[in-house]
Chain A
Amino acid sequence: SQTIHQWPATLVQPVGSPLSLECTVEGTSNPNLYWYRQAAGRGLQLLFYSVGIGQISSEVPQNLSASRPQDRQFILSSKKLLLSDSGFYLCAGHKTGWQETQYFGPGTRLLVL
């Protein structure tokens, strides 16, 4: 079965520092991959999605970027974090044949101080 792995679970970073969050997929190949951010008590905001290696679509212009160097690896990055980058970051995968389901990773809680 397919599993989405994310790490770390929690991260505290100073303003202006870089960020790299990694997401990996186990159990399938060529999924669509997504990065979401969720503010406390709010809905999911789609940040980036990727339909294949090197293919990134950005939904919201901001301080973040994403890359997909391998089929099962999706990375969220920032060169300089802002206070407003704090939130709960979720990676998700979707593939036809998964009964159209999105599978989510456990999430990373990022606090920028």
Chain B
Amino acid sequence: SQKIEQNSEALNIQEGKTATLTCNYTNYSPAYLQWYRQDPGRGPVFLLLIRENEKEKRKERLKVTFDTTLKQSLFHITASQPADSATYLCALPSASKIIFGSGTRLSIRP
């Protein structure tokens, strides 16, 4: 079955720097991959979707890449701000379900 690994449980970044989070998956390449943001005590909120035929997707300060050869997606936040502090989850489809990675907790220090 498909498995997702997010590179680290926690990441500490200085404000203004670029944060880079990694998501690796096993087995088959999915038709798309998603990234979500989760704040403490709240449900995850959808951020970006990238399809298998897309190499890169951007939304404001967010950039996602998708390398189906490496079976990896990178999630970048440029010019990071303390308000970007949250847990970020990657997710991909598997049959009728969407499965999630365990998340990376990002902290942006002023």
B: number of interface residues (CB 8 Å): 22
The size of the chain A interface, using a CB distance under 8 A, is 26
Contacts of A34 in B (CB 8 A): 97-98
Mask, A83-103, CB within 8 Å of B = 1, is 000001010101000011111
Contact A103 to B97, CB < 8 A, known contacts A43-B89, A43-B102: no
Instruction: Give B residues with C-beta under 8 Å from A.
Output: 32, 34, 36, 41-46, 49, 89, 91, 93, 96-103, 105
- State whether B96 touches A104 (Cβ < 8 A): no
The reply to whether B100 and A107 contact each other, CB–CB distance below 8 Å, is: no
How long is the Cα–Cα vector from A100 to B93 in the complex, in angstroms?
9
19 other A-B residue contacts (CB within 8 Å) besides A49-B96, A88-B41, A106-B43: A4-B43, A32-B96, A34-B97, A41-B105, A42-B102, A43-B89, A44-B100, A49-B97, A90-B43, A99-B49, A100-B32, A100-B49, A101-B46, A101-B49, A102-B34, A102-B44, A102-B46, A103-B46, A104-B45
Inter-chain residue pair count (beta carbon < 8 A): 51
A111 in contact (CB, < 8 A): no
Question: Are B43 and A94 closer than 8 Å at their CB atoms?
Answer: no
| Chain A residues within 8 Å of B102, by CB | 42-43
Q: How far is it, in angstroms, between the C-alpha of A59 and the C-alpha of B42 when the chains are bound? A: 23
Is chain A's binding surface mostly helix, strand, loop or mixed? Answer: strand
A109 interface residue, CB < 8 Å from B?
Answer: yes
Residues in chain B near residue A42, CB distance under 8 A: 102
Residues of A16-61 whose CB lies within 8 A of B: 32, 34, 41-44, 46, 49, 51, 57, 59
Identify the A interface with B (CB < 8 A). Answer: 4, 32, 34, 41-44, 46, 49, 51, 57, 59, 88, 90, 92, 94, 99-107, 109
Cβ–Cβ contact A43 & B43, under 8 A: no
Assembled-state Cα–Cα distance A107/B39 (Å): 12
Q: Do the beta carbons of A46 and B101 come within 8 Å of each other? A: no
